[in-house]
Chain A
Amino acid sequence: MSDANDFPGYRSPALDVLEQQKAPVWSQATLHTSRGDFSGLILPRSETADAAHIVLKLDTGYNIGVRADTVRRITVHGRKVAHYKIPEKAFPYDPVKPRVKLIGTGGTIASRLDYRTGAVIPAFSPGELYGSVPELADVCNLETEKLYGVFSENMGPEQWMGTARAIAAEIEKGVAGIVVGHGTDTMHHTAAALTFMLQELPVPVVMVGSQRSSDRPSSDAAINLINAARTAATSDIAEVMVCMFGPTSDQYGLLHRGTRVRKMHSSYRSTFRTISDIPLARVDSEGVKPFRGDYNRRRDVKQVALKACFDDRVAIVYYYPNMKPDIIDSLIDHGYRGIIIAGTGLGHVNKPLYPALERARTAGAHVYMTVQTLWGYVQMYVYETGREIMELGVIPAANMMPEVAYVKLGWALGQSQDHDEVKRLMLTPVNGEITEREPHNGYLVMQGGIPEVDAFISEHWK
């Protein structure tokens, strides 16, 4: 009986054939099949792929699948095990360069393939990173710590608090800046959470990820990482920021304030956008160029106000026409303490929901209104509906984005259940989650197809 590890990823019936033919993974072999002979290296099989096929790497480097039930006989000629290792070089230390700490939560900077899952495993040590992105050494002295290794959808309050604590500890050790490697899907949730949990920051905290994984030659990972490291090392902006591609071209990155940034496209490199405001700055090989002056400056101290707390009995309700009150009722029945409504227009829901909102108030829940238009403010006085909804205890949350309001409400409830105190925390901006004014260019979703817009794009926004 062979060791199961000889056949990683294989299940019956393909496993039976390989075992029976004594052809473990990494065998150089010829498979004699009813569809002809195929020669190559037997590879592990992805666990999510079917159980019927054997994966063969041909001499030309191509992979093919051979269905196990077509195999009559396997001749093994030899064995060749892949040693997958990202080249590691000692990260050079330069006494005049700033110290930057890279904290990993997931996502890929440099990576390799995981045969079992077919996914990519991130490389992370400074040596591995230097091997793949040597430009980092021009920017800083890099230290790394892998805090979590999760896809961004699996980040949650526990990881937010853990990351905040880790960053606070590094700041106390005196680093010049922090880079947080993060999957992009929920990067803006974490950016908001870190903004609330790490107040009075003395140094930049820069979140970074990639939209094209770093196992692709066209990946944005290296440029994003270099830009983030440069920001952490040299920028005067001591805030939680997201550093990702500005345009889809390899031109420059944008630094977005952690509470105003949102992922706006499922796959574009330039997916992150500052909503209802303008970004903080742009960053490229020339350095960081701020677009505005109203940011928190870097300070030469080693303290930060750490407020790592969260009550996760909070939900977002994305309103839609014909929503039934049982949606709200079920949340209250299940003990939820806070609800963020993403309402239509200026912040509205339909009348049938009123009894449920009344019930929520009676149960002591904290209910806040945001807008599903994402851009703009809640304004519940304009229409009668808005006034009626406020009568039911729903509090307008100005121009806080729904996800940010969700994170903030959980964070506020983690500190107090008192309605007035929670309201005070919610409506007092920590760092830009509510702004007093929206600049006219804070809403720019340009419409393609209009000749002058297309002309601008072909000329300037490449």
Chain B
Amino acid sequence: MNPRNALTEPWLLNPLPHFGELDPAGYADLGLKSGLEVHQQLLTQRKLFCRCPAGRYSLEHQAEVLRHMRPTLSEMGEYDGTALMEFKTRKDIVYLLNNETVCTYEMDDAPPFEIDDLALDRSIAIARLLGCNIVSEVHITRKQYLDGSIPTGFQRTAIVGTDGAIPYRGRSIRIRQISLEEDSCREVADRGHLRTYRTDRLGMPLIETVTDPDMRTPFEVMEVGQIIRWLARVSGLVRTGPGAARQDVNVSVTGGTRIEIKGVPSLRDIPRLVHNEGLRQTSLVAIQRELQRRGVREQDLPERFVDVTTFVRSTEFQNVRRAVEKGATVLAVPLPGFENLPGAPTQPRTTFLKEFSDRIRVIACIDELPNLACSTQDAPTFSGGEWDRITKACGVEGSVPVLVVWGRQRDAETAAREIVLRARDAVQGVPSETRQALDDGTNGFERILPGADRMYPDTDLPPIPLEDARLDRIFAALPERPWERREGLERQGVGADLADRLSRHPAYDLFQALVGECGDGLSATGLASLLLDRSCPRPASLKVAGDWWRATIRRLAAGEIVAEGIYLAEGDPPAVERESAARRRFAAALATVPEGPREGRRGEDFVMGHVMPGLRGRIAGRTVRTWVKEALA
């Protein structure tokens, strides 16, 4: 083997570190940096720019519309890279319309109505809670999305605040901006050149909170996400439930670039995704260094592909054979200088080859897998003889990887070009992309990362000035931030863990209403613990059961009832009995205890287990245990 082609990068020679194997210092070595874009639906009756109802989902539709998207120039006179990429995919986009949830606005057959004022007020409130500066005039901007997820081809979005911060573990996480925007369609299917969307969610008001890349480990990203989501949730200004919040995670490593992992539904998925993306970028940077060492340049990779259909007409490689029988064209693309690289691991169970496969799937719309074969791949594809002919037709040595794609002529050609483009990207390192989160914690290519060039002022709506009076009214009604609540609770004597939980729990208001009732019989921590206990049949809500709780807590503080009684009783907890009556009840219960151990701790527990069910809620558990001890002594 040519020594030039041997792998020398240590990262490529060793197995990738597993999730959980790296400590903060390990991530620091990678130069991991991560930021978040948290999207939350605002709680409003109507959509943002029309009068359709918000939050009504349905799987039925009465009509369909077919559209295509074309790239347009940005305000600064540039075409956006993502837009051009989407145009290459030549997708038919079909929207499913439900009469109840969509009007002519969502289907892009009518201009926008004026912005929903409640949504704007609520977005300003949240921006303020995050410590942002509020703009004096809101400019509606069009953010291009050519994937079809919005029928206009752009999302109407507007900045309401910039440069905020939230406290996190003794430091500060910077909030870059908060925007108010319309939600997109729900994707139903994306096969070949056809993509289908449901439009019920389209146009619902959404806030996007963008942090700076201030997080340094995968777990920090999750925790900061939790803080941002809790903040908006305690405010009561956003929707909750499945799909009401989604986040995009931005990740980069030393030598890498900002990669956006889109639409991560659950915060719990974030750490593994961030870890794996850190590995992928580190691998791509190592591959880049390997290529640099070999002297491979972009101009060494011309847009060149060879039609090898005739060589593989009767191949045993069934995927290709079936495709060719249906008229597919088979094209081969040699990648000189990429020796030993296609099999390099980038993520768990994933190699560098998937970078090519993903581009082909998304851009050439060849989505039946496998959608490419590699001459140096250790997998059953073409026979040795077939590979020899293919390699020879490409005019390269046998050690040079040759990638083969198949599909309709135009798609196969798009695929071949994408292979060359992706290979050239490898010379540059990590291409700027948005990637989709996969179920196994890895991620796949979604599209080229859009830049600022996709922004365009919305000429359909005038700017909205925010008068001081409006801001004053919103600021005056702001709820406390969770971290302020937590500090307050600790000052009130609640233990740290309970204070943290209660600060973002709906029972917080009830706690504050009742804490004045605490006395010798009940501490603030005791009250917090009681309200957070899920086994109580009454909801811990000031609105729903405030009076009942007040009366009950008063009795508890006065020693009239025991805490356990609150969990048990459907109605009011039973009053604590006088000692003589309680003793009689205990004696009766004791008499029914069957044969069994009576010695030591085991005997004590055995007897407790039998007498307690009849006494619970009437006599405090610790009193019963004292009596059991006395009885056994």
Chain A interface (Cβ < 8 Å from any Cβ of B): 33, 35-38, 48-50, 52-53, 55, 57-67, 70, 82-87, 112-113, 118-120, 211-219, 222-223, 248-251, 265-269, 454, 457-458, 462
Known: A61-B452, A113-B459, A214-B72. A269 touches B137 (CB 8 A): no
A461 smallest CB distance to B (angstroms): 8
> Are A249 and B137 interface neighbours, CB within 8 A?
no
Stretch binding the partner chain, chosen from B106-114, B318-326, B485-493: B106-114
> Are A66 and B454 interface neighbours, CB within 8 A?
no
In the bound complex, residues from chain B placing their C-beta under 8 Å from that of A37 are 133, 163
With both beta carbons as reference points, the residue of chain A lying nearest to B92 in the complex is identified as A250
> Which of B137, B176, B177 is the one whose CB lies under 8 Å from A53?
B137
A213 to B61, CA, bound (A): 28
> Are A58 and B159 interface neighbours, CB within 8 A?
yes
In the bound complex, residues from chain A placing their C-beta under 8 Å from that of B144 are 217
A222 to B72, CA, bound (A): 11
Stretch binding the partner chain, chosen from B73-81, B276-284, B525-533, B596-604: B73-81
Known: A218-B151, A267-B111. A66 touches B136 (CB 8 A): yes
In the bound complex, residues from chain B placing their C-beta under 8 Å from that of A462 are 63-66, 94
> Are B134 and A218 interface neighbours, CB within 8 A?
no
> Are B456 and A215 interface neighbours, CB within 8 A?
yes
In the bound complex, residues from chain B placing their C-beta under 8 Å from that of A211 are 109
> Are B66 and A212 interface neighbours, CB within 8 A?
no
A52 to B467, CA, bound (A): 12
A42 smallest CB distance to B (angstroms): 13
In the bound complex, residues from chain A placing their C-beta under 8 Å from that of B73 are 84, 86, 112, 215
A113 to B69, CA, bound (A): 19
> Which of A63, A218, A267 is the one whose CB lies under 8 Å from B457?
A63
With both beta carbons as reference points, the residue of chain A lying nearest to B177 in the complex is identified as A60
A21 to B72, CA, bound (A): 35
In the bound complex, residues from chain A placing their C-beta under 8 Å from that of B77 are 82-85, 112
A70 to B466, CA, bound (A): 12
A96 smallest CB distance to B (angstroms): 23
22 A-B residue pairs with Cβ-Cβ distance under 8 Å, sorted by A, are: A33-B136, A35-B136, A36-B133, A38-B133, A57-B455, A58-B159, A60-B455, A61-B451, A62-B179, A63-B159, A67-B136, A84-B76, A86-B73, A118-B457, A118-B459, A215-B459, A219-B72, A249-B64, A267-B110, A268-B110, A458-B64, A462-B94
Asked if B162 is at the interface (CB within 8 A of a chain A CB), the reply is yes
Asked if B167 is at the interface (CB within 8 A of a chain A CB), the reply is no
Asked if B153 is at the interface (CB within 8 A of a chain A CB), the reply is yes
Known: A218-B151, A458-B61. A64 touches B138 (CB 8 A): yes
> Are B137 and A62 interface neighbours, CB within 8 A?
no
Report the interface size for chain B: residues with CB under 8 A from the other chain: 63
A53 to B465, CA, bound (A): 9
> Are B454 and A61 interface neighbours, CB within 8 A?
yes
> Which of B104, B110, B154, B453 is the one whose CB lies under 8 Å from A217?
B154
A218 to B133, CA, bound (A): 34
> Are A64 and B68 interface neighbours, CB within 8 A?
no
With both beta carbons as reference points, the residue of chain B lying nearest to A461 in the complex is identified as B63
In the bound complex, residues from chain B placing their C-beta under 8 Å from that of A84 are 73, 75-77
A183 smallest CB distance to B (angstroms): 15
> Are B75 and A36 interface neighbours, CB within 8 A?
no
What 4 pairs between A and B have smallest CB-CB spacing?
A65-B137, A217-B153, A36-B133, A61-B455
> Are A59 and B136 interface neighbours, CB within 8 A?
no
A109 to B486, CA, bound (A): 58
B36 smallest CB distance to A (angstroms): 15
Q: Of residues 97 to 141 in B, which have CB atoms within 8 Å of A's CB atoms?
A: 104, 107-111, 132-139, 141
A289 to B153, CA, bound (A): 30
> Are B138 and A65 interface neighbours, CB within 8 A?
yes
In the bound complex, residues from chain A placing their C-beta under 8 Å from that of B104 are 267-268
In the bound complex, residues from chain A placing their C-beta under 8 Å from that of B177 are 58, 60, 62
A72 to B96, CA, bound (A): 51
> Are B141 and A65 interface neighbours, CB within 8 A?
no
A141 to B142, CA, bound (A): 34
In the bound complex, residues from chain A placing their C-beta under 8 Å from that of B454 are 61
Known: A49-B462, A52-B465, A217-B69. A70 touches B75 (CB 8 A): no
A213 smallest CB distance to B (angstroms): 8
B295 smallest CB distance to A (angstroms): 34
Per-residue A-contact encoding for B178-213, CB less than 8 Å = 1, 0 else: 010000000000000000000000000000001000
B56 smallest CB distance to A (angstroms): 19
A179 smallest CB distance to B (angstroms): 19
> Are B465 and A65 interface neighbours, CB within 8 A?
yes
> Which of A49, A62, A85 is the one whose CB lies under 8 Å from B159?
A62
In the bound complex, residues from chain B placing their C-beta under 8 Å from that of A265 are 109
In the bound complex, residues from chain A placing their C-beta under 8 Å from that of B238 are none
Sample of 16 more A-B contacts, CB < 8 Å, known A62-B158, A219-B153: A35-B136, A58-B162, A61-B453, A65-B137, A65-B463, A66-B137, A113-B459, A211-B109, A213-B459, A218-B69, A219-B70, A248-B107, A267-B104, A269-B109, A454-B62, A458-B61
Asked if B297 is at the interface (CB within 8 A of a chain A CB), the reply is no
With both beta carbons as reference points, the residue of chain B lying nearest to A455 in the complex is identified as B62
Per-residue A-contact encoding for B35-78, CB less than 8 Å = 1, 0 else: 00000000000000000000000000111111111111111110
A129 smallest CB distance to B (angstroms): 13
> Are B154 and A35 interface neighbours, CB within 8 A?
no
Residue from the set B72, B77, B132, B176 with the largest chain A CB neighbour count within 10 Å: B72
In the bound complex, residues from chain B placing their C-beta under 8 Å from that of A87 are 79
> Are A218 and B67 interface neighbours, CB within 8 A?
yes
A313 to B632, CA, bound (A): 117
With both beta carbons as reference points, the residue of chain B lying nearest to A119 in the complex is identified as B459
> Are B139 and A63 interface neighbours, CB within 8 A?
yes
B109 smallest CB distance to A (angstroms): 5
> Are B65 and A249 interface neighbours, CB within 8 A?
yes
> Which of A58, A65, A218, A268 is the one whose CB lies under 8 Å from B152?
A218
Known: A218-B151, A268-B104. A251 touches B66 (CB 8 A): yes
Known: A35-B134, A37-B163, A215-B73. A250 touches B66 (CB 8 A): yes
In the bound complex, residues from chain B placing their C-beta under 8 Å from that of A454 are 62-63
Known: A61-B454, A267-B104. A36 touches B459 (CB 8 A): no
A186 to B73, CA, bound (A): 28
A50 to B134, CA, bound (A): 19
A455 smallest CB distance to B (angstroms): 9
A251 to B94, CA, bound (A): 12
A379 smallest CB distance to B (angstroms): 35
With both beta carbons as reference points, the residue of chain B lying nearest to A265 in the complex is identified as B109
> Are B152 and A216 interface neighbours, CB within 8 A?
yes
A99 smallest CB distance to B (angstroms): 26
In the bound complex, residues from chain B placing their C-beta under 8 Å from that of A58 are 159, 162, 177
Asked if B420 is at the interface (CB within 8 A of a chain A CB), the reply is no
> Which of B61, B64, B107, B465 is the one whose CB lies under 8 Å from A50?
B465
> Are A70 and B152 interface neighbours, CB within 8 A?
no
In the bound complex, residues from chain A placing their C-beta under 8 Å from that of B455 are 57, 60-63
In the bound complex, residues from chain A placing their C-beta under 8 Å from that of B134 are 35-36
In the bound complex, residues from chain A placing their C-beta under 8 Å from that of B65 are 248-249, 462
> Which of A36, A63, A86, A212 is the one whose CB lies under 8 Å from B163?
A36
With both beta carbons as reference points, the residue of chain A lying nearest to B94 in the complex is identified as A462
> Which of A35, A38, A120, A267 is the one whose CB lies under 8 Å from B459?
A120
Asked if B157 is at the interface (CB within 8 A of a chain A CB), the reply is yes
> Are A82 and B456 interface neighbours, CB within 8 A?
no
With both beta carbons as reference points, the residue of chain B lying nearest to A213 in the complex is identified as B459
With both beta carbons as reference points, the residue of chain A lying nearest to B164 in the complex is identified as A36
A367 smallest CB distance to B (angstroms): 38
Asked if B228 is at the interface (CB within 8 A of a chain A CB), the reply is no
